Amino acid sequence: MDADEFRKAGHALIDWIAQYRETLEERRVMSAVRPGEIRARLPAQPPEQGGGAGELIALIERDVLPGITHWNHPAFFAYFPSNTSYASILGDLVCAGLGAQGMSWQTSPAATEVEQVMMDWLRQLLGLSTAWSGVIHDTASTATLCALLCAREQASGLAQAGPGLQAGRPPLVVYGSAQAHSSVEKAATLAGFGRAHVRLIETDARFALRPDALGEAIERDAAAGLVPCAVIATAGTTATTAFDPIAAIADLAAARGMWLHVDAAMAGTAMVVPEMRALWDGVERADSLVLNPHKWMGPGFDLTAYFCRDPQHLIRVMGTNPHYLRTQQDGDVANFRDWHIQLGRRFRALKLWFHLLDEGAEALRARLRRDLENARWLGARVAEAAADGWELIAPVALQTVCLRHAPPGLSAEALNEHNLAIARRINDGGRAYLTPTVVGGVQILRVSIGAERTERRHVEALWEALQAASQAAAPGA
């Protein structure tokens, strides 16, 4: 492909993406293909001859699109909002076009410095103090792993430089809530703590971590000769967007010199709206903080923000210094390769920059408030329909509504089946997509609101569809 072929194919794909986005609403949200169907459409062998990129749009339409679940669809209510704005797409395009590596400052100074400015813009948007240093990671899973590694090395006096965790010393213990994201337990096990040294603390009626239970667990472990090492406070749990009481947890962590990591992966974006910030009161006392602008904010995946208070400790844990990576400027600059697990790094700051330039803080706040209001509206409808068997399973703290249909006279098992049937009817129907999950042992329907194009009418349509599905899925219907 030469430059002119690139221009031609590029223009066509830009137009195709615009048309794809404009017609999203007409498409079914969840892909309807069966396992193996896409795979069977592709040649089993790689092409010997090139030149096969002339028909990219036909290829996408025929072999890819049927297998796409449309995350930017206005009726996408599953998992989390995964907005990828037009401006963000252009940021990714320029990132790929430049093909620059930002592993060291020298390998492309702009990649490091634009990122520094963007992380500072983000810090200001979230209302965080200047005590924080930010860096772009790929996902919250790796950022939380990074935080637990920093915690491990703080508690062990940088044991990685010596025997690591294999010193036969009193085991280090990690704490989170029973509603913490699965990546917390995964990070703790990958970091070598072992699941036997992870405490998933019980939650209260609002699914927030109970500080009294946490304090007891810490004291119990300390009394048994274990070393309380780190606690993860979740600001907005995955299932119900419950907020752990960070200030109370920070007191407990401080008393034992433990690392406090705040997982605000999804909900962190909400803090752009000042009236929401009380929900993470105490965040300034954390050692590290992760949030995913690639969820609700607008820049596309992957763009995780990792903030920490002591970048020198981070660099001690993550840094390497082989001869072939040394540059003339090493003493004067940030080499972001030493701020995370990976070495190579893309110029991801571009998509956050382009997005913020295009949307602006005022419109961003307005969009987030729209979504919060839509969630409250749906919560109110569910509460009003109690007589028809509808239940809210958790308070609507943010943009997620957890509900179920529980008509009288059904067994617990039948209720679970009934709600799973509702979810399948909605998702298979293609007009909307939500996540069935289990909270407190109960099968529920989880509606996450916040796609860029989701307006009140889409939430109204979902509520109608839920009611219709509850009739159609009723046992004996």
Instruction: Report whether the peptide linkage leading into residue 332 is cis, meaning its omega lies within 30 degrees of zero.
Output: no
Binding residue for a copy of itself (CB under 8 A) from 266, 318, 449, 473?
A: 318
Site string for a copy of itself, 248-287 (x = CB under 8 A): ----------------------------------------
The pair of three-digit structure tokens given for residue 158, joined into one six-digit string:
């940088």
How many other C-beta atoms are found inside a 10 Å radius of the C-beta of residue 473?
19
In the complex with a copy of itself, which residue's Cβ is closer, 250 or 350? 350
Binding residue for a copy of itself (CB under 8 A) from 61, 131, 163, 216?
A: 163
What proportions of the chain, in percent to the nearest 5, are helix, strand and coil?
Answer: 50, 15, 35
How many other C-beta atoms are found inside a 10 Å radius of the C-beta of residue 425?
16
Q: What is the size of the binding site for a copy of itself (CB under 8 A)?
A: 165
Binding residue for a copy of itself (CB under 8 A) from 171, 215, 389, 429?
A: 171
Shortest distance in whole angstroms from residue 37 CB to a copy of itself: 7
Helix (H) or strand (E) holding 76: strand 76-77
Question: What three-state secondary structure class fits 71?
Answer: coil
Helix (H) or strand (E) holding 186: helix 182-190
**Comparing C-alpha atoms, which of 174, 178, 95 is closest to residue 355?**
95
Nearest-angstrom CA–CA distance, 200 and 335: 36
In the complex with a copy of itself, which residue's Cβ is closer, 188 or 252? 188
Binding residue for a copy of itself (CB under 8 A) from 25, 27, 31, 256?
A: 31
Shortest distance in whole angstroms from residue 108 CB to a copy of itself: 5
Stretch that binds a copy of itself, among 100-108, 203-211, 253-261, 274-282 (CB under 8 A): 100-108
Strand partners, 433: 76
Binding residue for a copy of itself (CB under 8 A) from 28, 199, 294, 418?
A: 294
Q: Is 470 in the site for a copy of itself (CB under 8 A)?
A: no
Q: Is 88 in the site for a copy of itself (CB under 8 A)?
A: yes
Q: Is 222 in the site for a copy of itself (CB under 8 A)?
A: no
State the burial class of residue 147 (Cβ atoms within 10 Å of its Cβ: 0-12, 13-18, 19+): buried
Q: Is 297 in the site for a copy of itself (CB under 8 A)?
A: no
Contact 94, 111 (CB under 8 A): no
Binding residue for a copy of itself (CB under 8 A) from 27, 127, 139, 431?
A: 139
Shortest distance in whole angstroms from residue 146 CB to a copy of itself: 9
The DSSP call for residue 129 is: -
Binding residue for a copy of itself (CB under 8 A) from 92, 221, 287, 371?
A: 92
Stretch that binds a copy of itself, among 6-14, 249-257, 368-376, 390-398 (CB under 8 A): 6-14
**Comparing C-alpha atoms, which of 307, 353, 300 is closest to residue 121?**
353
Site string for a copy of itself, 396-435 (x = CB under 8 A): ----------------------------x----------x
Distances from the Cα of 175 to the Cα of 61, 208, 280, 353, angstroms:
47, 14, 18, 35
Contact 115, 336 (CB under 8 A): yes
Phi, psi of 150 (to 5 degrees): -65, -40
Shortest distance in whole angstroms from residue 181 CB to a copy of itself: 8
Binding residue for a copy of itself (CB under 8 A) from 26, 47, 411, 477?
A: 47
Shortest distance in whole angstroms from residue 426 CB to a copy of itself: 13
Q: Is 288 in the site for a copy of itself (CB under 8 A)?
A: no
CA atoms within 13 A on the CB side of 266: 24
Shortest distance in whole angstroms from residue 273 CB to a copy of itself: 14
Q: Is 467 in the site for a copy of itself (CB under 8 A)?
A: no
Shortest distance in whole angstroms from residue 466 CB to a copy of itself: 18
Strand partners, 198: 174
Binding residue for a copy of itself (CB under 8 A) from 140, 276, 286, 297?
A: 140
What's the alpha-carbon Rg for the chain, to the nearest Å?
A: 24
